[in-house]
Structure 1
């Protein structure tokens, strides 16, 4: 499985996604982003926007943002 989470250190929404991935024993990589939105070029490249968290699931061809959407995806698709 190839999961990448784009996250910001100290972001509570990112932590919720981290926790869900850990609780479901899913292997993933974390790409830590810059604090300033204007410097999150990698996030924009992969998701079209600069907000975090962003989860990229290469196996399913899915890229999504918004923690609530990601948590639902983890529960319905990956857990």
Structure 2
């Protein structure tokens, strides 16, 4: 299942999430949304709010940076045996 990250380029929290995805080597669909919150229809349709970052992983939608990072670590970090 593909991940989709909704974000803006200038957002520090969005950058943290993009860095984590890169660190983990996780492929994702990159959706850059408008800077003006009320114009972020895609984000609202997915999450019910206008703030970013928003990560969609199948049926799971995460809207808080801490929750996104935790989800990525839990589900995508490679574990060593």
Q: Normalising by structure 1, what TM-score?
A: 0.93
Structure 1 gap ranges (5+):
none
Q: CA RMSD in A?
A: 0.8
Following TM superposition, the consecutive aligned residue runs of length 4 or more in structure 1 with deviations greater than 4 angstroms are: none
Which of the two has higher C-alpha Rg? 2
Partner of 1:12: 12
TM-score, length basis structure 2: 0.91
Name structure 2 gaps, 5 residues minimum. Answer: none
What number of residue pairs does the alignment pair up?
77
Question: 1:62 & 1:27 partners in 2: Cα distance?
Answer: 16
State the alpha-carbon separation in 1 of the partners of residues 72 and 6 from structure 2.
15
